[in-house]
């Protein structure tokens, strides 16, 4: 019996093997058309510039056009809504920040999505620590001087943000809480970020928690009083860490990451994560990112999922400590 041949068995097995191989090839066939990246990064920001550098290289490597579409209205909610309803095939993804994905869940009552339930993490691409910076016209040179002035003149120093729930808003509120001072919050819309930059550079806004992208080229107008991070920066080694001055200030950084619709296949998410990291590390891209004050993260999908949960827990503690209420 062991040596007996079954008629047609070889042909049948051959057909099955061919079907299995074909299905495997089909599963790996990605991308098959252009990829749309719906971004909430405001035009003119370092995050937007970093995305365009990254997507150009990814397009070359993946052999398909990558189109960046900016939808920064409503704190990026439009961008996220488009992606959450898209087919989970990797041809429509989003490039977003912690602002809405993390902070918004604590600061807005009408959030229509949950980043942990409605999206598939792909990769945390970039991050950038911010600096508590002040315009030189205010005559304040250290964090101690800022705190002393603010305590003597409550509400007389303004801090700018791109609206309630933004990173800049949360950083300003964290500073107020940690230092026990009163600052005047001046919110701009996210679409008006360029105007916020202009007003800060012209001295109409006193304080802004901004990245090296703004601080570095404008040190003749601005002074960095502290870095919102856990260590000093090689870019500004003389600028103290905020926790050295305010121990109960819990640092948190600006980050940008890619997410897809829920149900995105693992092999597609992994491909996008690997391609984005490779693009960011290219020798003609990495130095430009450095000039923008951006740090390459290039996480895996699993690492990004873990980072999201850690960030949500940390920001939740911060919001509770500050006493901010959702609007």
CATH number, position 212: 3.40.190.10
Of the pLDDT bands very low, low, confident and very high (cuts 50, 70, 90), residue 16 is very low
Is pLDDT above 60 for 127? yes
Mean local confidence (pLDDT), 27-35: 87
Report if residue 277 sits inside a domain: yes
Q: Are residues 264 and 116 in the same domain?
A: yes
Mean local confidence (pLDDT), 236-244: 95
In terms of residue numbers, what domain contains 171? 130-245
Q: Each residue of 185-238: pLDDT tens digit?
A: 999 987 788 899 999 999 999 999 998 888 989 999 999 999 999 899 988 999
Q: Work out the end-to-end distance of the chain between its first and last CA atoms, rounded to an integer number of angstroms.
A: 78
Report if residue 21 sits inside a domain: no
Q: Are residues 124 and 258 in the same domain?
A: yes
| pLDDT at residue 299 in the model | 97
Domain final residue, candidates 226, 245, 264: 245
At 157, list the tokens.
Answer: 């120093």
Cβ-in-10-Å burial (0-12, 13-18, 19+) of 6 comes to exposed
Number of domains in the chain: 2
Mean local confidence (pLDDT), 86-108: 88
Higher pLDDT, residue 165 or 244: 244
Q: Are residues 259 and 288 in the same domain?
A: yes
Q: Are residues 119 and 261 in the same domain?
A: yes
Higher pLDDT, residue 64 or 80: 64
In the chain, where does DSSP find H-type helix?
Answer: 9-28, 46-62, 77-84, 98, 104-107, 115-118, 143-152, 167-179, 193-201, 212-215, 242-245, 266-280, 286-291, 301-322
Q: Are residues 121 and 209 in the same domain?
A: no
| pLDDT at residue 193 in the model | 84
Q: Each residue of 304-319: pLDDT tens digit?
A: 999 999 999 988 988 8
Among 17, 10, 47, which residue's Cα sits nearest to residue 280? 47
Domain final residue, candidates 245, 271, 287: 245
Mean local confidence (pLDDT), 147-164: 95
Is pLDDT above 90 for 79? no
Is pLDDT above 70 for 6? no
Q: Are residues 226 and 88 in the same domain?
A: no
- Domain with residue 310: its CATH number is 3.40.190.150
Q: Are residues 172 and 84 in the same domain?
A: no
pTM: 0.80
| pLDDT at residue 19 in the model | 43
Mean pLDDT taken over the chain: 87
Higher pLDDT, residue 197 or 41: 197
Q: Are residues 118 and 259 in the same domain?
A: yes
Is pLDDT above 50 for 3? no
Is pLDDT above 80 for 143? yes
* Distance between CA atoms of residues 276 and 82, nearest Å: 21
Report if residue 48 sits inside a domain: yes
Strands 92-97 and 35-39: parallel
Q: Each residue of 259-284: pLDDT tens digit?
A: 999 999 999 999 999 999 999 999 99
Is pLDDT above 70 for 147? yes
* Distance between CA atoms of residues 19 and 40, nearest Å: 42
Among 41-50, 82-91, 150-159, which range has the highest average pLDDT? 150-159
Of the pLDDT bands very low, low, confident and very high (cuts 50, 70, 90), residue 322 is confident
Look-up: residue for tokens 């964290």?
174
Cis peptide, bond prior to residue 31, ω within 30 of zero: yes
Report if residue 1 sits inside a domain: no
The dihedral sign for the CA sequence 300, 301, 304, 305? negative
Domain final residue, candidates 245, 272, 299: 245
Q: Are residues 112 and 155 in the same domain?
A: no
| pLDDT at residue 221 in the model | 96
Q: Are residues 208 and 265 in the same domain?
A: no
Report if residue 15 sits inside a domain: no
Report if residue 9 sits inside a domain: no
How far is CA 196 from each of CA 60, 88, 154, 186, 209, rounded to the nearest angstrom? 35, 36, 22, 9, 12
Among 116, 164, 128, 130, which residue's Cα sits nearest to residue 49? 128
Report if residue 10 sits inside a domain: no
* Distance between CA atoms of residues 125 and 277, nearest Å: 7
Of the pLDDT bands very low, low, confident and very high (cuts 50, 70, 90), residue 28 is low
Query: Quick one: what percent of the chain has pLDDT higher than 70?
Result: 89
Report if residue 28 sits inside a domain: no
Q: Are residues 240 and 261 in the same domain?
A: no
Higher pLDDT, residue 61 or 96: 61
Q: Are residues 159 and 218 in the same domain?
A: yes
């Amino acid at each position: 019996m062991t040596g007996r041949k079954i008629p047609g068995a070889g042909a049948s097995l051959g057909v099955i093997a061919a079907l299995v191989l074909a299905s495997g090839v089909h599963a790996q066939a990605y991308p098959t058309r252009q990829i749309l990246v719906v971004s909430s990064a405001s035009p003119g920001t370092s995050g937007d510039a970093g995305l365009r550098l990254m997507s150009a290289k990814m397009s070359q490597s993946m052999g398909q056009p990558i189109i960046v579409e900016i939808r920064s209205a409503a704190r990026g909610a439009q961008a996220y809504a488009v992606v959450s309803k898209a087919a989970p095939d990797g041809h429509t993804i989003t490039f977003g920040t912690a602002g809405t994905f993390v902070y918004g869940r604590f600061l807005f009552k009408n959030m229509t999505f949950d980043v942990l339930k409605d999206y598939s993490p792909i990769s945390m691409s970039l991050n950038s620590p911010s600096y508590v910076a002040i315009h030189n016209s205010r005559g304040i040179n250290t964090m101690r001087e800022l705190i002393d002035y603010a305590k003597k003149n409550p509400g007389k120093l303004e801090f700018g943000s791109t609206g309630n729930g933004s990173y800049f808003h949360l950083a300003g509120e964290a500073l107020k809480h940690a230092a026990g001072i009163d600052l005047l919050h001046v919110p701009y819309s996210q679409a008006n970020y360029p105007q916020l930059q202009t007003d800060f550079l012209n001295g109409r806004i006193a304080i802004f928690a901004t990245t090296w992208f703004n601080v570095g080229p404008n040190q003749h107008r601005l002074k960095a009083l502290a870095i919102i991070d856990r260590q000093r920066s090689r870019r500004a080694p003389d600028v103290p860490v905020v926790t050295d001055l305010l121990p109960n200030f819990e640092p948190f950084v600006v980050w940008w990451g890619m997410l897809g619709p829920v149900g995105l296949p693992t092999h597609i998410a992994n491909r996008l994560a690997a391609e984005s990291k490779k693009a960011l590390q290219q020798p003609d891209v990495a130095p430009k990112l450095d000039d923008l004050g951006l740090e390459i993260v290039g996480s895996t999908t699993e690492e990004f999922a873990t980072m999201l949960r850690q960030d949500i827990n940390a920001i939740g503690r911060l919001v509770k400590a500050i006493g901010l209420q959702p609007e």
